[in-house]
Amino acid sequence: MVLELTDEQKIWRETLVAFSRQELDYDMTAYEKGDLFPWEAWRKCAEMQILAQPFPEEYGGGGVDFMTTMISLNALGYACKDAGLVHAIATQILCGLQILHFGSERLKQRYLPLLCRGEKVFAQAITEPGSGSDALSMRTSATKKRDTYILSGSKTFITNGPIADVVIVFAVSDPEKKSLGGISCLVVEDGMKGFEKCRPLKKMGLSTLQNGELFFDNCVVAFEQLLGKEGQGAIIFNESMEWERSLLPAAHLGTMERILEISVTYAKERHAFKKPIGSYQSVANKLSSMKMNLELGKGILYRCAALKDNRKRAALDASICKLFISESLKQACLDAVQIHGGYGYMSEYEIERDLRDSIAATIYSGTSELQHNIIARFLGV
């Protein structure tokens, strides 16, 4: 198991940190006001091959391992203030992994090069207005009719949804079997009759991330657009969650590192009662807890990467990783605001944005409560 990055990985991380500081350091205010997607930054990331990383070269990919892909997201989480952009990139990569591991050769050839180049934006649609945590109780139906599926229903909160060109839709193909082989996955393209995207939903944070509702009204999808086998949806969902619960925390750990650095600098510079505030134990303890969680987070994250790179299951580890890192990030952001006092609460210092962004991390990709349930299930309770 990897405990230390290789020299090559360190250099790649440094390259991406420098790239982010130079190319992705845009003023977030305008984007936040309009909830706009940073297209230019997206294209620059595509040019840097960030979207292409874990895919084979024959599909236009970078041909690197999962660990290196996580390092890339970690570097972006550290050096790019736009957590919405980083999340959009993670979603794109996740959709590509689903196509790579479950798609037919036709689907791989058709979609992966476009995904790697960022020419098409991808989304995965599981959550519905009536089902989130209990994802597999979804109602969207995929009814077989000759050599097609008729897709009907709606999805919500879908990342990249409002700007998506291609959506991986999970739907019920056999209502009798439901989660036990009755859910299937279809690759739907924007422009297909009966498929409608809505405008982005307003959110508390992650303002550049485009989340929205998707509607399917008797949308006819060709049989060849099926991802994996019919009824394999729950298997794809479970595998996909392992990638997602590692990719997103990789970015979050980067953000934690940035927040820690900013807070340490401030605790040394800011004086109160004639002493730096860092000399007071209640401030220093917040910093040492941040550092401890950062290092512990790395351990579980690298373990997930090692398991996935060796094509092993990582359901338990990914749940621990997601739960621990998302909750640690939220706490780190809260503590950073507190350490910065009134300045921390002001938008100018940009820490309050990290706090607003961090709250979503404990909700998407399965809430913290759900991760506790999964971990408890592994304990047999």
Structure tokens at 308: 């996935």
Site string for ligand FAD, 75-104 (x = CB under 6 A): ----------------x-------------
CB of 300 to ligand FAD, least distance (A): 21
Structure tokens at 67: 């660990």
Figure out which of the listed residues 8, 40, 369, 376 binds ligand FAD, where binding follows CB under 6 A: 369
**Binders of ligand FAD among 146-175, rule CB under 6 A?**
157-159
Tell whether residue 364 is a contact of ligand FAD (CB under 6 A).
Answer: yes
CB of 211 to ligand FAD, least distance (A): 5
C-alpha separations of 165 from 3, 97, 111 in Å: 39, 17, 11
Figure out which of the listed residues 38, 96, 132, 278 binds ligand FAD, where binding follows CB under 6 A: 132
Helix axes 351-361, 83-102, angle to 10 degrees: 30
Q: Which residue is nearest to ligand FAD (CB)?
A: 132
Active site residue 40: no
Which residue from 192, 112, 120 is spatially nearest to 149, judged by alpha carbons?
192
Instruction: Check residue 202 and report its DSSP letter.
Output: P
Choose the stretch contacting ligand FAD; rule: CB under 6 A; options: 44-52, 119-127, 220-228, 284-292. 119-127
Which is catalytic among the residues 128, 239, 242, 244? 244
Which residue from 66, 92, 9 is spatially nearest to 304, judged by alpha carbons?
66
For ligand FAD, the closer CB: 151 or 283: 151
CB of 8 to ligand FAD, least distance (A): 32
What is the secondary structure of 17-80 as a DSSP string? HHHHHHHS---HHHHHHHT---HHHHHHHHHTTTTTTTS-GGGT-----HHHHHHHHHHHHHH-
Contact residues: ligand FAD, CB under 6 A: 91, 124-127, 132-133, 157-159, 206, 211, 360, 363-364, 366-367, 369-370, 373
Which sequence positions are flagged as catalytic?
244
